[in-house]
Structure 1
Amino acid sequence: MKDSPQFCIYKLHRRIVITLTFRLEIVTIVLFLNYYWCVCLGFVQWLNLQPKARKAVKGGDTFYIGFPNACLVP
């Protein structure tokens, strides 16, 4: 039974599925952390730019500072 082709295919399939699932979990975790890290960096940048934006508006230069993109490096 153990040497039959079906068993070999089953073992190989199981190994591939386990490997792919494990890699998918790692990729998901990395992307998830990267996304939140970028959001945090973006929020910090946004907070730092707020006083400058308010000063600019008071000074007469009207320009809108949106949420900056901190994710320049993927």
Structure 2
Amino acid sequence: MPVTIMFFLQIKPQVSPIIKGLIFAGITAFIAETFSLWIGYYKYPGWNSIFSFPFFFVIYLIAHKLAHSSAIKPLF
């Protein structure tokens, strides 16, 4: 997940972080998490991927805010 977040932060910097956060959350929650469940990497009884979506979205927005704060040198 950290590598994916850094990829999204560095590619297309002019795109809104909301849109990129929604794309990141969708890919992570519905594709990566489902694949991990399918191969048996972990099991979450009673947990649906839709529950993870807002958490991944917020994680991306926090990472975006930290990466673009004035205390850190610009990425681009």
* Same topology, TM > 0.5: no
TM-score between the two structures when normalised by the length of structure 2: 0.38
Using the size of structure 1 for normalisation, the TM-score is 0.38
Greater radius of gyration (CA):
1
